[in-house]
Structure 1
Amino acid sequence: MSAPQFANDPAQLGVNPTSDDAERVPAPLESEIRRIYERSPLYAQRFPLHEEPLRWGCYEEIPRLTKREIVERGHQSFFADYSEIERGLEESRFEYESTSGTTSGPMTVIMEDGWWDEQTARAYEASPILRQFVGKAYRKCILAPVGCSSNLCPYEDHPFPHRYLNGTHYLNLTSDPFVFREAEWDRIVVELQAVKPDVIEGEPIYLSLLAREVSKRGVTVPSVKAVILTYGKASLQHSRRIAEVFPAPQVDLYGSTEAGYLFVGDAFADNSQVIDANAFVELVPYRGLDEVFQIIVTTRGREAMPLLRYHTGDIVQRFPQGYRLLGREGGLHFRADGSLVSPTDIDQVLPEDFKCWHYSLVQAKADRWDFHYVADHTAPDSVTAAIAQVLGDGARVVPFRRRHIPPAASGKFALLKPLA
């Protein structure tokens, strides 16, 4: 059978187009698969692996791993002797985190000490914008959901500067920035000024609202050299509001707590690349759409809970210069003719004279969509007309200007919410 497609650099994957044995899985990928089988008994239970050289036909038979399966089996199924993990947690050789996710229950993730920092450094090295900070002392502020990723975010109400750890300062103590009180924003803005960060990282909605609050208070933070948009899907509206207050290059950094960082690129440049040292990313054609794929991830170098052919639930589109992260499968809409509408398509039709801090387009019925937005001014009729046109199928769009757009039960925000 023909080899599946991968988003990785072919040289990093180890593909040799002149090989006499095109059916053979490249050595770097096969070595990682066998290491994963050695580390986690889960995989041999699901699909025994033979000792002969691995071919693509056998690779395709390895079942894809899903978030639901991890939740249902439990994280302990990854380990032959879980008492060793418990001792490692007590001795701080291992760490754990529970992701909010979109599955039926929270997913517990075990990771070896230092793994998050190492794969983050590899992500920075893969970005021309972030590479300047690798191996150097720099200051970073994070504004994101409290249960954001790995062990990064503190859970206790530590006073400033006790939330400044190893060059990183954690600005917020609770989630949902729409309900932060003025006193809380006062504290956040003062701490931001005090730290003078080189990098600001955060969930795009949080950073958009931070830009609003910084602007309202008439202050500036000229130290910022880069803005990292991560944890959630950014819109052009978020990006522009952030850039008005923090005029620094923006980086789109995509990943998850369980898989680590997978793609990095310049924000809204459609040039995201796989972080080859972190994972192998398989591309599965999606619904017959041109250059649109599901991604299936095999992590590299993980000791605890390595992932093999992991179905993340995210969709990417390939461009000549790289990839665009379209979002989660459940956050995409399909017209009656099967063509795709993504959050990017909505972004691109919003009129230039419309500015908002956040929006969410929610399908209420088959032909009705509610456009919830947070803005300083009421949206002109041209906004809903443009959205209706891109949705097609006679869609009717009803606008609602809001002070607060609540997150989902998981604590995350969505730009596009089609009917299930």
Structure 2
Amino acid sequence: MSGKASFVRGVAYGAAYVERCRCALEEALGATPAYEAWRRLDPGPTLGPFDRLAALPALTKDDLRAHGPRGFVPHGRDLAAALHSGEVSLVATSGTTSDQVTNVWYQPWWDASEAASWELNAHARAAAGNSHREAILTSPWCAGVPCEDGYLTREQRTLGRFLYLTERSDPSTWSEALMDRMVEEINAFRPAVLEANPSFLARLSRHIAAKRLRVCSPGLIVLTYENPSLLHYRQIGRVFDAPVASSYGSTEAGYVFMECEAGRLHQVTASCHVDFLPFTSEHGGPAVGRILVTTFGNPWRALVRFDTGDVVRLDGPCPCGRSEGLTLAAVEGRTVNLTVTPEGRVVTQGEVDRALAQVPGLVEYQLVQVEPAAYHLRCVAEADDARETLDAASEALRAVYGDHASVLGELATAIAPAPPGKYRLARALKLVDADALLDTAYAPAAL
């Protein structure tokens, strides 16, 4: 026995789900090269899969890079032949070169994971079909066709039933003509689903509102690629008359959570298991913590307890009636978005966002903790009373960080994303040690 606890109390799992967990664990430990060193930590099949998983380490992106794509392919599969035939491909995640991970990409598994996630939202089931049209507004470096020094035709940005609305990755530099083109294409294409990076769609929504343009609303808006702000939801809702759902996942792990029509996020239990690692009570536990994802049914990649780098907040029973797996109130942001109060209490990006979302006239923001008690806030505000908006935002942050916090506010005309086109709404110059926040009873084992 490892002595490590598994956070499964009060969580409903069917017998088929438990069997999927067992099969994923057996394939990884028994037939996948990257987990050879893990086998000595496995307490064995006399225990259930949840207790066995709890005894194991976390799988990091550094591990994925160290073992390479072949390290996670189970024995008996010929990766070279599959690559040659086109059954699979190698796909690198977006980001800087040092952050990238090369993944074995098996499209049928990804499609099945996506389809399972859409079953968790009634609007998604109604909007989607086998050939529904989908418009996508995100960084072209994440999905699409990038062209930073020119413009592409609609035909060059169309792939089957998908229309990629932009070839430019920085919304702060979008011209009015480019955004007018996006609106015209949405109206002409009439997508059933609009899938978008929330900050990108919020920028377009502000343009639509300012120019009082008419825009065709899809059957569903799916927010993905980054964690949405409450400001994004509000700005999108002003111009689009459509239900909005947040979809959470990663290139490595597929679709992990999907927001239901009641506003909670449900685990995609058909395609993954999620281990929840609560923080200590000082830092928001046991409701707030990190997650590790184990994937099901991908014949070309065995991932066990993959650390996505995200922080979540649990919720109780959902009004929608779905009960299997974890239910989240929110994805609170990434561990790289954590900041701390001068007294040392951790603050999630979600806590920052809920405070700033109450400030009238605030359009967008970015917060950087520069010293243990010093914070730099950049704000884009509506033209009227911009200085009052900045002062109110600074005061809202002092309520979060306490009387000893020094908040320096700065007005900006626009805020640019970080490569490859994702916004970091909050961060600390000195990264917070996310491992130190965990309740030690649930912390992953060390090799």
Q: Which is further off, 175-184 or 120-129?
A: 175-184
What pairs up with 1:175-190 in 2 under 5 angstroms?
175-190=169-184
- How far has the Cα of 1:122 moved from its partner? 1.0
Correspondent of 1:392 among 377, 386, 402 = 402
Contact 2:94–2:141 (CA under 8 A) maintained in structure 1: yes
- How far has the Cα of 1:163 moved from its partner? 2.8
Distance in 1 (CA, whole Å) between partners of 2:419 and 2:411 is 22
Secondary structure in 2 matching 1:30: helix
- How far has the Cα of 1:195 moved from its partner? 0.8
Distance in 1 (CA, whole Å) between partners of 2:173 and 2:76 is 40
- How far has the Cα of 1:409 moved from its partner? 4.1
Query: What is the match of residue 31 of structure 1?
Result: 23
Cα 1:101–1:85 shift into 2, 3 Å: same
- Is 1:354 equivalent to 2:346 in the alignment? no
Secondary structure in 1 matching 2:155: coil
Gaps of 5+ in 1: 16-25
TM-score (norm 1): 0.86
Residue identity opposite 1:314 in structure 2: D
- Is 1:271 equivalent to 2:264 in the alignment? yes
What pairs up with 1:230-269 in 2 under 5 angstroms?
230-266=224-260
Distance in 2 (CA, whole Å) between partners of 1:291 and 1:339 is 15
Distance in 2 (CA, whole Å) between partners of 1:160 and 1:212 is 23
Distance in 1 (CA, whole Å) between partners of 2:97 and 2:159 is 31
Q: Which is further off, 131-140 or 106-115?
A: 131-140
Query: What is the match of residue 127 of structure 1?
Result: 121
Distance in 2 (CA, whole Å) between partners of 1:176 and 1:145 is 8
Gaps of 5+ in 2: 319-326, 431-447
Distance in 2 (CA, whole Å) between partners of 1:221 and 1:418 is 38
Aligned residues with identical type, % of pairs = 29
Distance in 2 (CA, whole Å) between partners of 1:184 and 1:75 is 38
Cα 1:163–1:8 shift into 2, 3 Å: farther
Cα 1:162–1:101 shift into 2, 3 Å: closer
Query: What is the match of residue 439 of structure 2?
Result: none
Secondary structure in 2 matching 1:372: strand
- Is 1:403 equivalent to 2:413 in the alignment? yes
Secondary structure in 2 matching 1:240: helix
Q: Which is further off, 286-295 or 200-209?
A: 286-295
Distance in 2 (CA, whole Å) between partners of 1:101 and 1:12 is 37
- Is 1:68 equivalent to 2:62 in the alignment? yes
Contact 1:127–1:265 (CA under 8 A) maintained in structure 2: yes
TM-score (norm 2): 0.81
Correspondent of 2:12 among 7, 10, 14 = 10
Contact 2:311–2:331 (CA under 8 A) maintained in structure 1: yes
Contact 2:368–2:375 (CA under 8 A) maintained in structure 1: yes
Correspondent of 2:202 among 208, 212, 219 = 208
Residue identity opposite 2:338 in structure 1: L
Query: What is the match of residue 214 of structure 2?
Result: 220
**Which structure has more RCO (C-alpha within 8 Å, separation ≥ 6)?**
2
Cα 1:59–1:9 shift into 2, 3 Å: closer
Cα 1:83–1:300 shift into 2, 3 Å: closer
